[in-house]
């Protein structure tokens, strides 16, 4: 069974469409590790696309806090992006985001999905912490999938005499690992094995959209450097 992993779309529809187009047609499922909205210009379209295409979705901090943008008032880019998302999303879409689980097990418990840390969903989990969070994997779990850092990484726990993998597929809509291309991963639950992938998308289109709707231009310009 092969499953696609995505995370941190942040309302960047061109990046999301590029990733979906780049993925193989024969995948058995698609998992989203949260943060569908925030920062960029297509919150409603991204919510719709995730609902259409993903079999498993957990709640990111932006998904949870979109009803209360002022909780990010000290971060202009995040604050403005959430204000815009709240103004655009329907009541039904806002309810759907608010009802997403913070974490979930899927595919017969073989994938455990959480946005950040298993015990503190807002905590950033860097690659150096993967061996520690692997302790939250049950014997049935082959993949612990998480996001939040916007940095693509995967570690095979066999290197530490454990089973399975910890995987951050990276960010679709706002990579912060120095690579501006949209990030995703594909996992094989039978082996198990992990493939990390990137997809080109038109960043100039995102910059124009930010200007058109009045979002901070620096939210789009940072995409050019993957930061």
CATH number of 2-224: 3.60.21.10
The mean of the pLDDT values for the chain is: 96
What predicted TM-score, i.e. pTM, was given to this entire model?
Answer: 0.96
Segment 11-66, tens digit of pLDDT? 999 999 999 999 999 999 999 999 999 999 999 999 999 999 999 999 999 999 99
Segment 165-193, tens digit of pLDDT? 999 999 999 999 999 999 999 999 999 99
Segment 212-221, tens digit of pLDDT? 999 998 888 8
Distance (Å) of CA 115 to CA 36, 59, 67, 171, 213: 11, 7, 18, 12, 28
pLDDT number for residue 221: 86
Residue pair 143/56 in contact (Cβ under 8 Å)? The answer is no
pLDDT number for residue 158: 86
pLDDT number for residue 162: 86
Segment 70-110, tens digit of pLDDT? 999 999 999 999 999 999 999 999 999 999 999 999 999 99
**Domain residue spans in the chain?**
2-224
Bridge-partner residues for 31, per DSSP?
Answer: 5, 56
Residue 199 and residue 109: Cα distance in Å, rounded? Answer: 29
Segment 135-164, tens digit of pLDDT? 999 999 999 999 999 999 999 998 888 889
């Amino acid at each position: 069974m092969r499953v696609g992993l995505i995370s941190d779309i942040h309302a960047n529809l061109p990046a999301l469409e590029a990733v979906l187009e780049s993925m193989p047609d024969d995948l058995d499922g698609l998992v989203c590790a949260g943060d569908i909205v925030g920062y960029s210009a297509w919150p409603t379209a991204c919510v719709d696309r995730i609902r259409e295409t993903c079999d498993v979705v957990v709640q990111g901090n932006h998904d949870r806090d979109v009803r209360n943008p002022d909780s990010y008032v000290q971060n202009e880019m995040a604050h403005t992006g959430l204000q815009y998302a709240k103004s655009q999303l329907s009541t039904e879409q806002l309810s759907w985001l608010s009802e997403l689980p913070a974490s979930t097990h899927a595919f017969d418990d073989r994938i455990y999905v959480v946005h950040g840390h298993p015990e503190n969903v807002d905590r950033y989990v860097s690659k150096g912490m993967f061996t520690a969070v692997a302790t939250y994997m049950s014997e049935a779990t082959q993949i612990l999938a998480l996001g939040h850092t916007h940095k693509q990484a995967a570690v095979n726990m066999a290197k530490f005499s454990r089973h399975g993998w910890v995987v951050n597929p990276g960010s679709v809509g706002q990579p912060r690992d120095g690579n501006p291309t949209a990030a995703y991963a594909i996992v094989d639950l039978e082996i198990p094995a992990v493939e990390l992938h990137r997809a080109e998308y038109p960043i100039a289109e995102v910059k124009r959209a930010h200007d058109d709707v009045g979002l901070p231009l620096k939210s789009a310009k940072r995409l050019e450097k993957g930061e």
